[in-house]
Amino acid sequence: GESVGLHLPTLSVQEGDNSIINCAYSNSASDYFIWYKQESGKGPQFIIDIRSNMDKRQGQRVTVLLNKTVKHLSLQIAATQPGDSAVYFCAENIPNFGNEKLTFGTGTRLTIIP
Amino acid sequence: EAGVVQSPRYKIIEKKQPVAFWCNPISGHNTLYWYRQNLGQGPELLIRYENEEAVDDSQLPKDRFSAERLKGVDSTLKIQPAELGDSAVYLCASSLQGFGYTFGSGTRLTVV
C-alpha cells in the first residue's frame, strides 16, 4: 500500500499500552484544533477536536490536551490496538475574518507492536 | 452516507500532459477544499470554496492549476501542463460552516 510519510517522527508502542503524540502549533491566535488519523492509502480521518477555550477534551479511548501557554497539543490514546497504527496529524485553525485556514503539522507515525 | 467521493484514485501521466480530478462533497456541505499532500508531509490547502465562490485561492499555482465548482456542489481540479513536481496526493474535503472537516481518499498523481 501507499506510504504517506517516509521521514516522519515515529513512535512505537506495545499493544495495550497508552500512547502520547505531541504537536507544537505555530499561531497563538489559533482558535480550534483537530487531530487526524491517516492510514496508508486513505485520506485523513477526524479523531477529536478542541476549541481554544478548553484545555482538555475526551473521546472514546482518546484525550486531547491543549496548553496555550507553550502552544502545545497532545493526543493520548488509551489501550492501543493494532488498528491504531497510522500517521497522526494535528491541525490548527487560524481565524482570519471569515477566511480561516486549517494548517497541518508534519505528522507522527504510530506503530503498535503486537 | 457516502462521504467525500474522489476520482480517480490513481493517475499516472507524462509531464506536460493535462490531468483533472473530481470531487463530490458530503451532501449539504457548503464549503469544499482542495489540498495537496506531498510525501512525508501534512496536507496543504490549494483552494477553498464557499458554495460556488472561490474564497481562498492564494496557494493555488494559477499558471497551471485551475478549479471550478459549478452549482456549488461537485468540483474539479485541473493541472495543465503537469510537471514532475506535481506528483502528490490531491485531497478533497468538505465541511458545513467550517466545521466537521471530512476528507476523501484522495487521488495519487504520478507524473513521469
Nearest CA-CA partner of B93 in A84, A77, A101, A25: A101
Which residues numbered 17-36 in B keep a CB inside 8 Å of some CB on A?
A: 33
What's the domain count of chain B?
A: 1
Question: A9-49 pLDDT, tens per residue?
Answer: 999 999 999 999 999 998 899 999 999 999 998 999 999 99
A46 to B37: CB separation less than 8 angstroms, yes or no: no
Is the pLDDT assigned to residue B95 strictly greater than 50?
yes
For residue A16, CA distances in Å to A35, A64, A81, B37 come to: 21, 19, 6, 31
Question: B100 pLDDT exceeds 70?
Answer: yes
**Is A105 touching B (CB cutoff 8 A)?**
yes
Q: What structural domains does chain A harbor?
A: 10-113 (2.60.40.10)
Q: Is B102 on the interface with A (CB under 8 A)?
A: yes
Measured between CA atoms, how close is B102 to chain A, in angstroms?
7
Distance CA B39, CA A1 (A): 14
The CATH number covering residue B29 comes to: 2.60.40.10
A·B CB contacts under 8 A? 57
DSSP letters, B25-69, are --TT--EEEEEEE-TTS--EEEEEEETTEEEE-TTS-TTTEEEE-
Domain limits for position B48: 5-111
